[in-house]
Amino acid sequence: MIHFHYECQDCGKKFERDDVRYLCPECSPNALPEVPLKGVLRVVFDYKAIAREWSEGHHDLQLFCPVEKEFHPDFEVANTPFMKAKRLGKTLKTPRLYIKNDSLCMSGSLKDRASFLMVAEAERLGLDTLITASTGNAACALSAICAGSEKKAVIFVPKSAPKAKLTQLRLYGADLKIVDGNYDQAYRESLLYSQSHEGLNRNTAYHPLTIEGKKTVSLEIFMQNNQKAPDYIFVSAGDGVIISGVYKGFYDLYLSGLIEKIPQLICVQAEASDAIHRLFVNGNYAPALHPDTVADSISVINPGNAYMAVDAIKTSKGFSLIVSDQEIMEAQKILAENTGIYAEPAASTALAGLIKSLNTQSIDPEKEIVLLITGNGLKDIDASIRYLDSKVE
């Protein structure tokens, strides 16, 4: 395996792999759910070694993976289709529009990527239990992968999560702790639980390998796009880990000399859950106090990875925008009609952002655009039923 170390995003301190587990101990003495995390760690590889291996014809994405293959579960969860969206491209007048369809991950969302790597890391550490708080998808992902690899999943999830997600969790046999509160409350309870129980906490952003897991989506896009980086990627954001992961994948490729530029990342949030957007626009952090949106997977008061997400948007020369629930549900319909892909509201948010960006002429429609579809519509059919019924007069 290629050597790596961890580096604190705030103070720059370096740590060897087993000297630290979650956040930088100096920058995060009391990580609370009330504010975005400080001291999030970044995995820094020996990029010269990767470049050398690659130039010798060893074109294996495993070079970018910080957990040895021998510890990985012996099944795949991602490797999802990357397709040219011809009909949708005609409708939107974007001739080079592509979709990376992560609604086809094993448990139905991109979160499988992070959970997969976390289960591998637990295996390496000899731990049998993984713990997470989640609005639903991270919990489903962790529970599914734990089920397939003989690990135990302890899950803190708000009782308001959509029925299908709660049903997935029950079926996968997770140790389910239903929280009478929101995601931030679930997050707090999971941290308390982790302090007194053995196990690896998979909370998003809290463990650096969640970002490393999610970055594999970019590595796959690179390979499926003939080893090239696209111009724009539209990403819906809640905690800001997916967009940070998307950035990290291209950043690794860039530092290894395999691409010449990092795609411009466009961050799309729901109007009511817009803390990253406001941090990007004003430079000041304030929570989204009432993050009520149909896009449950991106509903969050305090996005854990807000700072890193804003960094990713800025360094990639991208931008951020917000869309209404109405625009999200319209986008779900447009996506389904034009591609055959049924995306959950949080995933349709990325398309709502693309449509809005085209309407405001914020992007060049002739460039290569990738729409990241992060989760499956079957996880929340009630939202679709409400929308469709509201259109029937």
Q: Which stretch binds ligand PLP (CB under 6 A): 15-23, 48-56, 169-177, 340-348?
A: 340-348
Q: Does 347 help bind ligand PLP (rule: CB under 6 A)? A: yes
| In the complex, minimum distance from the CB of residue 41 to Zn ion, in angstroms, rounded to a whole number | 8
d(CA 19, CA 129): 20
Decide whether 134 or 264 has the Cβ nearer to ligand PLP.
Answer: 134
Which residue lies nearest ligand PLP, judged by its C-beta? 375
Q: Does 274 help bind ligand PLP (rule: CB under 6 A)? A: no
Decide whether 25 or 95 has the Cβ nearer to Zn ion.
Answer: 25
Q: Does 204 help bind ligand PLP (rule: CB under 6 A)? A: yes
Residues that bind Zn ion (rule: CB under 5 A) add up to a total of 8
Q: Which stretch binds ligand PLP (CB under 6 A): 124-132, 157-165, 215-223, 343-351?
A: 343-351
- Residues 10-29 within binding reach of Zn ion (CB under 5 A): 10-11, 13, 24, 26-27
| In the complex, minimum distance from the CB of residue 11 to Zn ion, in angstroms, rounded to a whole number | 3
Sheet holding 41-45, edge to edge: 14-15, 4-8, 41-45
Decide whether 72 or 111 has the Cβ nearer to ligand PLP.
Answer: 111
Q: 141 near 107, Cβ under 8 Å? A: yes
Which one of residues 137, 299, 320, 338 is an interface residue with ligand PLP (CB under 6 A)? 137
Which one of residues 121, 212, 239, 274 is an interface residue with ligand PLP (CB under 6 A)? 239
Q: Does 344 help bind ligand PLP (rule: CB under 6 A)? A: yes
Which one of residues 37, 375, 380, 384 is an interface residue with ligand PLP (CB under 6 A)? 375
Q: Does 236 help bind ligand PLP (rule: CB under 6 A)? A: yes
Lay out the site mask for Zn ion across 26-65 (x = CB under 5 A, - = otherwise).
xx-----------x--------------------------
Interaction partner, residue 134 (Zn ion, ligand PLP, none; CB < 5-8 Å by kind):
none
Q: Does 111 help bind ligand PLP (rule: CB under 6 A)? A: yes
- Print the SS3 string covering the chain: CCCEEEEECCCCCEECHHHCCCCCCCCCCCCCCCCCCCCCEEEEECHHHHHHHHHCCCCCHHHHCCCCHHHCCCCCCCCCCEEECHHHHHHHCCCCEEEEEHHHCCCCECHHHHHHHHHHHHHHHCCCEEEEECCCHHHHHHHHHHHHCCCEEEEEEECCCCHHHHHHHHHHCCEEEEECCCHHHHHHHHHHHHHHCCCEECCCCCCHHHHHHHCHHHHHHHHHCCCCCCCEEEEECCCCHHHHHHHHHHHHHHHCCCCCCCCEEEEEEECCCCHHHHHHHHCCCCCCCCCCCCCHHHCCCCCCCHHHHHHHHHHCCCEEEEECHHHHHHHHHHHHHHHCCCECHHHHHHHHHHHHHHHCCCCCCCCCEEEEECEEHHHHHHHHHHHHHHHCC
Which one of residues 237, 266, 370, 383 is an interface residue with ligand PLP (CB under 6 A)? 237
| In the complex, minimum distance from the CB of residue 237 to ligand PLP, in angstroms, rounded to a whole number | 4
Interaction partner, residue 263 (Zn ion, ligand PLP, none; CB < 5-8 Å by kind):
none
Question: What is the contact surface with ligand PLP in residues (CB under 6 A)?
Answer: 109, 111, 137, 204, 236-243, 297-298, 344, 346-347, 374-375
